[in-house]
Homo-oligomer: A and B are copies of this chain.
């Protein structure tokens, strides 16, 4: 137990609990599997904002009708190395995993594959899908938009969502190079996590309802785009995610998406997602690719650090957390622990322990 009174629980127990809870409210096996896999990806890597704390949210959305508990994901369009999937209002991880599976299959045949997913929903950590490509030896890119919560550069109202982008690159014999970033200064789910934990936000990452900077997670009503005085770059990266995942899918723009938090949990939110895979073998010998990644990472990790700092490759911090959590498990934040106890009691499921 830590000083919050929460015991550490194993990842295997969290996996069991998420699947059991999703199944208990009527989600089919594919939905329970995809949602659990994506949440556990995030929790294992320390991306707690997108981890199992989202389980109560997904249960509410599945029970309310926003999400389809038994979706039929199907191909509805495309051309050559492009496919368009209709996710049938599935929990977002299902549409996104299916999309990346298809993108990788296409990249196996065509060297590159791009998949637009329609009628999807919140897919959690974008890195889960980039990771899925890297696990198969492909470079994977994943993009999504989300309900408006980020102001523009020099803007004073919510415009883009936190619009994440993720890139995963396979590294022979090791964990992938894995970038998973919000195009906002911080992810919105971190605001929610910090509210639960009672922690102050960093400077210049969030604004109150009038657009004035604040460090109070409870007062935060919008986020700043990545880049501080160069926030036009962060806002533009949000635009890349917006165009690929919403315009190119014909789905809702951020400012048209009902709030993730509700109050409406009955209507599908009509989110899109965009997945792209590249097959290194189409570009050069695999041995040369692998050697290039190793040389790049070896030099990066050996690069001179500033005093008190440490240089890391994207994902390094996360793999270290994963190695620890594989052994020690994870302590849930208080709000999540409380919600899990209620779910366990309601459905007669053993709480994760």
A300 contacts partner chain B, Cβ-Cβ < 8 Å: yes
A346 contacts partner chain B, Cβ-Cβ < 8 Å: no
Measured CB to CB, the residues of A under 8 A from B are 77-82, 84, 109-114, 116, 139, 151-157, 159, 167, 169, 177, 179, 181, 185-186, 202, 211, 226-230, 232-233, 235-237, 239-240, 242-244, 246-250, 253, 255, 276, 278-284, 288-289, 292-293, 295-296, 299-300, 303-307, 309-314
CB contacts (< 8 Å) of A152 on chain B: these are 300, 303, 305, 311
Tell which of A110, A152, A247 has the most Cβ of chain B within 10 Å: A247
Kindly provide the distance from the CB of A163 to the nearest chain B CB, expressed in whole angstroms: 12
CB contacts (< 8 Å) of A293 on chain B: these are 243, 247
Q: A253 vs B288: C-alpha distance in the bound complex, in angstroms?
A: 13
User: Do A309 and B154 form a contact, CB below 8 Å, given A114-B111, A240-B179, A253-B295?
Assistant: yes
Q: A124 vs B281: C-alpha distance in the bound complex, in angstroms?
A: 28
CB contacts (< 8 Å) of A250 on chain B: these are 283-284, 288-289, 292
**A292 and B247 contact, CB distance less than 8 A:** yes
User: Do A249 and B284 form a contact, CB below 8 Å, given A155-B311, A227-B226, A239-B313?
Assistant: yes
Which of B248, B288, B296 contacts A280 (CB under 8 A)?
A: B248
The oligomer's copy count stands at 2
**B82 and A112 contact, CB distance less than 8 A:** yes
**B79 and A110 contact, CB distance less than 8 A:** yes
Q: A246 — nearest CB in chain B belongs to which residue?
A: B292
Tell which of A179, A232, A253, A303 has the most Cβ of chain B within 10 Å: A303
CB contacts (< 8 Å) of A244 on chain B: these are 139, 278
Which of B114, B230, B289, B307 contacts A247 (CB under 8 A)?
A: B289
**A296 and B247 contact, CB distance less than 8 A:** yes
Q: A154 vs B317: C-alpha distance in the bound complex, in angstroms?
A: 14
**A77 and B242 contact, CB distance less than 8 A:** no
Q: A114 — nearest CB in chain B belongs to which residue?
A: B112
Q: A246 vs B293: C-alpha distance in the bound complex, in angstroms?
A: 10
Kindly provide the distance from the CB of A314 to the nearest chain B CB, expressed in whole angstroms: 4
**A79 and B296 contact, CB distance less than 8 A:** no
Q: A233 vs B233: C-alpha distance in the bound complex, in angstroms?
A: 12
Q: A179 — nearest CB in chain B belongs to which residue?
A: B236
**A227 and B227 contact, CB distance less than 8 A:** yes
| 11 other A-B residue contacts (CB within 8 Å) besides A80-B81, A80-B112, A235-B314 | A79-B282, A80-B80, A81-B112, A84-B284, A155-B304, A155-B311, A186-B230, A226-B233, A227-B227, A243-B296, A253-B295
Q: A233 vs B235: C-alpha distance in the bound complex, in angstroms?
A: 14
